[in-house]
Amino acid sequence: MSDSPKDITTKVAARSEVSAFLQKVASLPAVQKGSGAGRLLFALDATASREQTWDQATQLQSEMFLAARGQGGLQIQLTYFRGFAEFYKTPWCSDAMALLGLMSGIACRAGTTQLERVLHHALAENKSQRIHCVVYVGDAMEENADVLCQLAGQLGLLNVPLFLFQEGGDLRAQQTFQTMAKLSRGAWSRFDSASAAQLRELLRAVAVYASGGRQALEHFSASASPAVQRLTQQMRS
C-alpha cells in the first residue's frame, strides 16, 4: 500500500527535522579531552506525553550551566529518545546557548521509552572518558525493570550516580526510578508543571555535584530548599 499524501508529508517533515538536528550537532563546539570540567549526561524522554513540558525542560537546563560556573565548569552531552527507536546525542559541549538552541528545535513524537538504551550509552561514554553523573527527565517506564536496575547498579559500581526527575505520578515509573537511583547511589525526585522552581534548583544541585563533587553539593544544600536537602540525603544513604 502506498503512503497517503499526509503520510508522505509527515515523513518529509521528520527527515527535515533530523537533518536540521544533525547539522546543529555538527556545529557544536566540541570539548577538549582532559578538561577539568565536570561531565554530565543529560537524557530526556521526548515522547508525545512530554510535549507540554518540553519547553520548560529546555529553559531549566540553562540553570545547570549557571550553577556550575563557580565549580570549574560543566560539560554536557544531550541525549533524547522518541518515536520508533529514535535516539540522538550531541557531542560533549560547554556552550549552553548552543545546546539550548538545539533543544528548542526538537519536537516530541509518540513512542515508547528507551531508558535501557540511555543506560547502555552512559556506560559506553564512561568507558571512553569518565562522566560524573547522569540526569534523566521523564514521566513513564515501559521496559523491563530488572534490566534497568541491573544497568543502574553497574553505573553505581563505577561511581556514576543517576539523578532521575519524574514528571507526574506513574507508580510503576516511580518504583523503578527510586530503585535505580538507590542502586546507582544517586537520587530521585518528582516534579510537575507547577513546580518549575523546584526542578530548577534540583538541576542546579546536580550541576554543582557534577562540577564540584560531593563536598560542593553538601555546601550548596546547606542553604537550599528542602527538596535539595532530601536529594542530598538520598545520596548519603
Q: How many residues does the chain have?
A: 237
Lowest mean pLDDT among 15-24, 48-57, 87-96, 204-213: 15-24
Show the domains of the chain with their CATH numbers.
Answer: 38-236 (3.40.50.410)
What pLDDT digit, counting tens, does each position of 140-174 carry?
899 999 999 999 999 999 999 999 988 878 999 99
A 10 A CB-CB count for 126 gives: 19
DSSP letter (8 states) at residue 56: H
pLDDT averaged over the chain?
76
Q: Residue 183 and residue 189: Cα distance in Å, rounded?
A: 15
pTM above threshold 0.85:
no
Residue 237 burial (C-beta neighbours within 10 Å; 0-12, 13-18, 19+) = exposed
pLDDT at position 120 is 97
- Provide the pLDDT confidence category of residue 28 given band limits of 50, 70 and 90: very low
Closest CA to 181 of 206, 212, 216, 208: 206
Ranges of beta strands (E only) in the chain are 38-45, 74-82, 86-89, 133-138, 162-167, 187-191
Instruction: Tell me which range, 13-27, 35-49, 146-160, 163-177, is most confidently predicted by mean pLDDT.
Output: 146-160
Please state the φ and ψ torsions of residue 195, each to the nearest 5 degrees: -120, 40
Choose between 200 and 188: higher pLDDT.
Answer: 188
